Amino acid sequence: MTRFCFWNRPLIAWAARDLGRQPFSALLLFVCLALLVTLVTLVLLLGQSLRLASVQWAAQAPDLVVRRVTPGGWAPLPVAEALERVQTVAGVLRPRPRVWGVVQGPGGPWTVVGVDAAAAADWPADVPLPRAGEALLGTAGRWLATAQPLFLEGRRALGFKVVGYLPRSAAAALHDGVVLNRQDALLLLGLAGDQATDLALEVFHDEEAEALRPDLASVLPWPVTITTSREQLRRQLDDIDRRTGWLLASFVPALAAMALVVAALGAAGRRQRWEVGVLKALGWGGGDLLRLHLYRGLLIAGPAVAVGSAAAYLLLFAPGTTWVGRWIFGLPGAPLPLHLSGQSAAGGLLLGMLLVALPFSAALFWSGWQAVIQDPAESIAEAER
């Protein structure tokens, strides 16, 4: 008795030859599959890398951020009074005022951050602090020539000399950042010298941040919003998951359509039924026909999945890719520095493959099974009529 082996070289060669007999439908199926894998994998990889960026960002962010609010929106914070009051709360560490805001610049909005000697502790040692009239640019600003002055427009329009760039290791939050001298930033944002945008605080343990919120709110004489880095991270991750989920759900009709097309291409057609009938009459068994069917599918799906996965990866991580920052975050300029761990990349690629391959395989198997159970005499007679 012959031992059964799934892989049969002449049958694989015949499957390839068979695809060559209908090159248009084979090519169409390949393109559809590759496109679906690209889209699904792109969404999954983007979700994974944004999650990772959020986690890294949260690790660099202060434990607590206090912002003054009014019915009209956020309001500047009087620095001296705010510092004095929050320091009365036990457990609060390193309270520091921050000056930042969004202004118009070349190509769109830019996030301006004001720093002075007081911020030196958080500042990279090899990057000099900007002096008056000087600007340091985030990753997005690398396309701007340092020889030209940088014009920014907030409450006032000011020109700056670009003296350098922030290191690539800077947080993604500073991707579209412009770091200015504190006084310049205050002028640009229309803040007085004793005002700040918000107050950043640290705590001994992460768990304390949540518990300190009511204490902080009670010592400040204005309405404030107090955000913990954990809460911010949770919000961002939820948002990423929700958007990723919706995007993936929007692909379900496309996946179903693909499965139906595969099933229809494989099983319907009078010509296919006749051919299956002839092959059975010539001694092909149901198992042979099923294998032929699966080989044909694998010969299309294998390269399509590989091409689709590679395309998704390159679309996201190829050097010079700017569309993520531009389309999703509306950030101008250079590529958003996205990263993935090996595990996340493998997980995203694998899940992308599975989400497309499962309905494809089911449709393939179903149409193959139709060939297996087909009555040869009936399909031959049908063709003769």
Residues that bind other proteins (CB under 8 A): 2, 8-11, 14, 17, 21, 274-275, 278-286, 288, 291, 376-377, 380, 383-384
Q: Helices 286-317 and 9-21 meet at what angle, rounded to 10?
A: 70
Q: Which is nearer to other proteins, 100 or 295 (CB)?
A: 295
* Least distance (Å) between residue 2 CB and other proteins: 7
Q: Which is nearer to other proteins, 9 or 205 (CB)?
A: 9
* Least distance (Å) between residue 31 CB and other proteins: 22
- From the list 2, 15, 64, the residue with the least C-alpha distance to 290 is 15
* Least distance (Å) between residue 270 CB and other proteins: 14
Q: Which is nearer to other proteins, 72 or 283 (CB)?
A: 283
**Interacting residues of 262 by C-beta distance below 8 A, sequence separation 6+:** 29, 297, 360, 363, 364, 367
* Least distance (Å) between residue 262 CB and other proteins: 22
Q: Which is nearer to other proteins, 4 or 327 (CB)?
A: 4
* Least distance (Å) between residue 363 CB and other proteins: 23
Q: Which is nearer to other proteins, 237 or 380 (CB)?
A: 380
Q: Which is nearer to other proteins, 51 or 291 (CB)?
A: 291
* Least distance (Å) between residue 266 CB and other proteins: 17
* Least distance (Å) between residue 276 CB and other proteins: 12
Q: Which is nearer to other proteins, 63 or 275 (CB)?
A: 275
CA angle 196–103–228, rounded 5-degree value: 45
* Least distance (Å) between residue 293 CB and other proteins: 13
Q: Which is nearer to other proteins, 284 or 366 (CB)?
A: 284
* Least distance (Å) between residue 292 CB and other proteins: 8
Q: Which is nearer to other proteins, 6 or 327 (CB)?
A: 6
